[in-house]
Amino acid sequence: MTNFDPYSRLIFLDNEYHVSQSPNQHKVLNPANLNHEGTIALCSTQEVEQVISRAKEAQQEWKREDEKNRARILHQIASSIEDGDLSEVARLMVLEEGKPYPEAIGELANCAPIFRYYAEMARDEGGLLPGTTQTGSFQFSKYFPYGVSAHIMPFNYPIIVMCWTVAASLAAGNACIVKPSEATSLCTLKFMDHFKILPPGLVNCVTGGAETGQALVESKNINAVAFTGSVEVGRSIAVSCARQMKPAIIEAGGSDPMIISQHAPLDVAVPGCVMSAFHLSGQICVSSERFFVHEAIYDEFVQCFVAMTKQLRIGPGLEESEIGPLVSESAREKVIRLIEDAVRNGATIECGGRIPPQLTQGWFYEPTILTGVTKDMAVMREESFGPVAAICKVRSFEEALDLANNTDFGLGASIFTTSMDEAFKAYNTLEAGMVWVNNPLIDNDALPFGGWKMSGIGREMGRQGLDAFRQTKMGVIDTKPEIQDWWYPYSDDWFYSGKGRQV
Ligand code: NAD
């Protein structure tokens, strides 16, 4: 056991911090200035198995707890988050991820309700008691936990996305092992303090990259997987899980469309688009990346969008800025590649399109607006996951809907319009797991979150988010044993009357 120290290569096990046994490590660099902010362990398969085995033991007790008691403890976690000092976790998130401080605090301040929500939902309804098919037979179904769930997390919302699935998994009676992104392991480890209320071993955290993640996914002792991250990694995890018939929620990437109709209220649409394109430097799974703007309002929209974007302040997350750095050098290189490709193929840079001259130390990039973009450009086919808004001019609302759906992704989609008809048509036509009309990016603990097409399988939050971590068992209990009329031997009547009984 040791105290939390960002440089000590820690894991969280049995409600305590321990120095990892693994000699392999990863230096955590601050994306705003490349300072060395901490060191994490790259946990080995052997260490991962040790942690899983401890979680498995702890789950044996937890699964026997009654739902009321589990709910009581989940409410205590929520209270600990609400009443606790979140500033150190937020500070670490800023230092390792580059997120502006108000957004880090905002993320943490929204984590408690999901624990309360699932605490009560799991208590409210533990199965199904339908009408029976045989008089005197008790026929029902109850939920059971899977065992130990692995939670493989992305860098962009390291804590809240983890809470969505950990809360559901605990409420369903499982133990959890969290594997944060290499870029956000320090804040995740520090957040583990709030789980010390639980019986030891129920929520644990191991650190590392792809190999540590794979060790979890492929372990025979992991019974369910919650993954949030890129399509490429999500697909490989889905394949691994399928091989073992292991349930998996895959929340993958997107390249969300944003439609600006000719009926859009531009005074609202412009600030809404600046937020949905550039919030967290465009590193939100549901950031608007592909813009389809009606020709009737195109010039005015582009002019105002560019003007407002140019006012955004770029800088380190602990200073007064709206736009922080990208998380890594490779993330910035991808953005640069997509912009260069678009320009080579005829697009115009309306603003941005460069590393800010005053901020060459970290991985900053100016919020960039491209016009003259066509559907075949790489920026329209790949997820840029950076501060890039690519705009196409469209002649009609129908053309916008067609182009919006012309993608392998299907996470979210947004539109600004004051036409009721367009609002409902967009909701019904857009091929995405979430559609926002005049209010992009918002989520709701009580509504399912997840994507269509390549953007994922399964849902987090809402009732479906809980069901992902529990399995049903049908029960038929006849307290008075009786020979049933359809058992062997069949009577002659049955052979000759054609009245055969079907199960
Ligand atoms: P990523 O796919 O690179 O990594 C996600 C996690 O998977 C990390 O913890 C990483 O270490 C781990 N990992 C990498 N290779 C692995 C492997 N082979 N086996 C097991 N684990 C492995 O994603 P990222 O860069 O951290 O996050 C950005 C991506 O996440 C974007 O594509 C974004 O759209 C997506 N995202 C989706 C949602 C959603 O709800 N759909 C939410 C947030 C982020």
User: Which residues fall within 8 angstroms of residue 286, CB to CB, at 6 or more apart?
Assistant: 254, 256, 276, 411, 412, 434, 440, 441
User: Which residues fall within 8 angstroms of residue 418, CB to CB, at 6 or more apart?
Assistant: 263, 264, 265
Closest residue CA from atom 13 of ligand 1: 210
Dump strand ranges (E) for 64-137.
127-128
**Is 382 designated active site?**
no
Catalytic residue among 111, 241, 285, 351: 285
Residue 207 beta carbon below 6 angstroms from any ligand 1 atom: no
> What whole-number distance in Å separates Cα of residue 385 and Cα of residue 407?
15
**Is 285 designated active site?**
yes
Angle at 347 between CA 341 and CA 348, to 5 degrees: 120
309 and 272 in contact (C-beta within 8 Å)? Answer: no
pLDDT tens-digit profile, the chain (503 residues): 899 999 999 999 999 999 999 999 999 999 999 999 999 999 999 999 999 999 999 999 999 999 999 999 999 999 999 999 999 999 999 999 999 999 999 999 999 999 999 999 999 999 999 999 999 999 999 999 999 999 999 999 999 999 999 999 999 999 999 999 999 999 999 999 999 999 999 999 999 999 999 999 999 999 999 999 999 999 999 999 999 999 999 999 999 999 999 999 999 999 999 999 999 999 999 999 999 999 999 999 999 999 999 999 999 999 999 999 999 999 999 999 999 999 999 999 999 999 999 999 999 999 999 999 999 999 999 999 999 999 999 999 999 999 999 999 999 999 999 999 999 999 999 999 999 999 999 999 999 999 999 999 999 999 999 999 999 999 999 999 999 988 999 888 777 776 655 54
Which one, of 117, 34, 196, 145, lies nearest residue 462 by Cα?
A: 117
Index of the ligand 1 atom closest to the CA of residue 451: 41
Residue 451 beta carbon below 6 angstroms from any ligand 1 atom: yes
Task: Provide the whole-model pTM.
Answer: 0.97
Index of the ligand 1 atom closest to the CA of residue 455: 41
Residue 452 beta carbon below 6 angstroms from any ligand 1 atom: no
Residue 155 beta carbon below 6 angstroms from any ligand 1 atom: yes
Residue 169 beta carbon below 6 angstroms from any ligand 1 atom: no
User: Which residues fall within 8 angstroms of residue 196, CB to CB, at 6 or more apart?
Assistant: 15
Which one, of 21, 51, 65, 62, lies nearest residue 221 by Cα?
A: 51
Length of the chain equals: 503
Q: Collapsing DSSP states into helix, strand and coil, what is residue 422?
A: helix
Distance between Cα 134 and ligand 1 center (Å): 49
Residue 215 beta carbon below 6 angstroms from any ligand 1 atom: no
The continuous run of DSSP H or E covering 28 comes out as strand 25-29
Q: Collapsing DSSP states into helix, strand and coil, what is residue 412?
A: strand
469 and 168 in contact (C-beta within 8 Å)? Answer: yes
Residue 228 beta carbon below 6 angstroms from any ligand 1 atom: yes
Distance between Cα 244 and ligand 1 center (Å): 21
Distance between Cα 330 and ligand 1 center (Å): 14
Closest residue CA from atom 15 of ligand 1: 210
